[in-house]
Structure 1
Amino acid sequence: MTVSNTVDQYTIMSGDRSKIKDLLCNRLTECGWRDEVRLLCRNILLEKSNSSNGVTVEQLIAEVTPKARTLVPDAVKKELLMKIRTILAENEAEN
């Protein structure tokens, strides 16, 4: 089991996963990431709409996901990492 899986399982069991998820959603909205990804999706759909097959949801996700991940600001990543570390530290202190 990887560290990522272990952290994921712990946050699910402790109920902290929803807090982390809410924090991430709020920060991504605040920094304009969601709007950037929405625009990216629109542009891809416009580009592909002229093709005979169009684009499937799976194709759109495959194309957008790597680009969207690179658009997440470092400050958001650092804040989430700090939050996860705090949660894990609190867990260790309890045990």
Structure 2
Amino acid sequence: MARSVKHSANRPPTPDEDVRDSPERDELTLGEIINIKLVESGEKENLMELVRDRLVESGWKDEMRIACREHVKKKGRKDVTVDELIRVITPKGRASVPDAIKEELLDRIHNFIRSAAL
């Protein structure tokens, strides 16, 4: 018996949602296959933990905290919503991730793909 699962636009499907047999999808993209394999193996959580640690070590997290506080101070505490703060800070956050962290993450993903023979 197949169960109906709604997929979030902000989150890739997890392996137990069995998107491979979904009538909505005829074929998976390479990126989707890699994501499924990362989740199934537990490597995705390891990579996320690695990135969190590296962002803290690099001072990026503190920089983002300061940027948020400055925005709230400028606009006034009562006039700022979480959605607005995310909309304003996200582009700056993405642009300021150190290149070394991006390179390390890409290297780990490439190594995973090679070892998984994808």
Specify the TM-score bucket, using the shorter chain as the normaliser: 0.7 to 0.9
Greater length-normalized contact order (CA 8 Å, ≥ 6 residues apart): 1
Residues 1:56 and 2:88 aligned together: no
1:35 aligns with 2:62: yes
Select 2:108's aligned residue among 83, 88, 94.
83
- Give the unaligned 5+ runs of structure 2: 1-27
Larger radius of gyration: 2
TM-score (norm 2): 0.71
SS at match of 1:42: helix
The alignment's C-alpha RMSD in Å is 1.7
Distance 1:46 1:2 in 2: 44
Shift of residue 62, structure 1, vs aligned partner: 0.5
What's the TM-score, normalizing by structure 1?
0.87
Could you say which structure has the higher helix fraction?
A: 1
What percentage of residue pairs aligned between the two structures are identical? 36
Write the distance in 2 (CA, Å) between the matches of 1:27 and 1:19. Answer: 12
